[in-house]
Amino acid sequence: MWIDSHCHLNHSKFTPEGGVGEALAAAHAVGVGGMLSIDCLIREEFEGLLKLVKPLENVWCTVGTHPHDAGRDDEKTVSLEELISLARSDDKVVGIGECGLDYYYNMSSIEDQQWCFRKHIKACLETDMPMIVHARDADDDIIRIIREETSGKGMRGVMHCFSSSTKMGHEALDLGFHISFSGILTFKKSEDLRNFAKDVPLDRLLVETDSPYLAPEPFRGKMNHPALVVCTGEVLADLKSVPVHEMAKITSENFFSLFNKAKLTV
C-alpha cells in the first residue's frame, strides 16, 4: 500500500461533486490506500477541508497557512493559541502546515512569511505534531529559523516536495526531518535530486503528489491526482535498489510513524 503524504483534495480541480470520489477510486485501484490533504488557508479553507475529509476513510488533513498567504490580513489574525487549538480540534487533523518560506514567488513579504513560519514551529513544539514545510529559494533561512526556534535540537516534520539543495537536505535530515519526494523526482532534469535521494536513509523517505499540481512522468503536464504517487514511488525504489512493493511498505510505515495521529480505519 502507498500513502500520498501531500495532496490538495479541496482544490477546485477535484470538484465539482464526484471529483474527489473519482480520485479516491483511481487511487484505491492502484494500491494508494491513504492520503493527507494539506491546508493552505486557515481562515478560508480549513473548515471546508475538515468537512471534506471527515467522512472519508484513511484521508486526513492538516491546518496551516501557506507562505504565499502569510501576509493576508485574515491569516495574520490567526494567533498561536488558535492554531494550536485547531490542530487539536479533531482526530482527522494530523499535522501542521503547509508553512515555510517561498522567496521564489514572494507573494507575501519576507517579514510576514518568517513570522508565520515561526508561529507554526511553535505550534508544532507545543502540540508535538509534525510540521509540513514548503521551502523554495529560502534554504538558509528555513534551516536557520528551525534551529533558532528549536534551540538547535530539531523537530518532527517533513520537507515536502523536496527540491532544495543537497546541502539543505542533509541539514534537514540532521534536524530530524523526513524528506518527501514528488513527481519532480521523475523529471529528466532532476539528476541532482535523484543523487540526493540515494543518500536519504530509508526510514526518512516519504512520497507525495502535491496534486493537482506537478504530475510525474509519463503524465507531466496533465492534472495530477493521488494515484500517480506510484510513479514517483517506482523511481524511488529503483534509486534505492529495493523492490517496488517494499518501497511502498517503507514509505507508508514512515508516514504513520511521523504522522502518528493518523490511524488506518479499514
Q: Which of 128, 66, 72 has the alpha carbon at shortest distance from 102?
A: 66
- Least distance from Zn ion to the Cβ atom of residue 214, Å: 9
Of residues 144-163, those binding Zn ion (CB under 5 A) = none
Q: How far is the CB of 20 from Zn ion (least distance, A)?
A: 16
The minimum distance between CB 242 and Zn ion, in angstroms, equals 27
Contact status, residue 215 vs residue 223, Cβ threshold 8 Å: yes
Which range touches Zn ion (CB under 5 A), out of 105-113, 129-137, 169-177, 229-237?
A: 129-137
CA–CA dist 182, 205 (Å, integer):
11
Q: How many chain residues interact with Zn ion (CB under 5 A)?
A: 4
Closest to Zn ion by CB, 105 vs 174, is 105
Over the window 232 to 251, marking each residue x when it contacts Zn ion by CB under 5 A and - when it does not, the resulting string is --------------------
One-letter amino acid of 55: P
The candidate with the shortest Cα–Cα distance to 63, out of 54, 76, 50, is: 50
Q: How far is the CB of 90 from Zn ion (least distance, A)?
A: 20
Least spacing, CB of residue 44 vs Zn ion, in Å: 15
Query: Are 129 and 94 in contact, with CB atoms under 8 Å apart?
Result: yes
Find the binding residues for Zn ion in span 206-225 (CB under 5 A).
210
Tell me whether residue 67 or residue 233 sits nearer to Zn ion (CB atom): 67
Nearer to Zn ion, 38 or 172 (CB): 38
Which residue number is nearest to Zn ion in terms of Cβ? Answer: 134
Helix (H/G/I), strand (E/B), else coil: 85: helix
Count CB atoms within 10 A of the CB of residue 261: 18
Q: Which residues in 35-54 contact Zn ion (CB under 5 A)?
A: 38
The residue among 75 and 210 lying less far from Zn ion, judged by its C-beta, is 210
- Rounded CA-CA distance 155/85 in Å is 20
**DSSP states of 155-206:** -SEEETT--S-HHHHHHHHHTT-EEEE-GGGGSTT-HHHHHHHHHS-GGGEE
Whichever of 11 and 249 has its CB closer to Zn ion, that residue is 11
C-alpha to C-alpha distances, 194 to 164, 179, 182, 191, 253, nearest whole angstrom? 12, 12, 11, 5, 22
- Number of residues that make up the chain: 266
Q: Grid coordinates 496533465 are at which residue? A: 222
The nearest distance, CB 67 to Zn ion, in angstroms, is 8
* Interaxial angle between packed helices 166-174 and 139-149, expressed in degrees from 0 to 180 and rounded to the nearest 10: 10
Phi, psi of 34 (to 5 degrees): -160, 160
Shortest Cβ 151–Zn ion spacing (Å): 26
Task: Determine, following the binding rule CB under 5 A, whether residue 119 of this chain makes contact with Zn ion.
Answer: no
If the CB atoms of residues 38 and 129 are measured against Zn ion, the closer one turns out to be: 38
Residues from 92 through 111 that contact Zn ion (CB under 5 A): 98
Residue of the chain from 134, 156, 178, 261 that contacts Zn ion (CB under 5 A): 134
Q: Could you list the residues that contact Zn ion (CB under 5 A)?
A: 38, 98, 134, 210
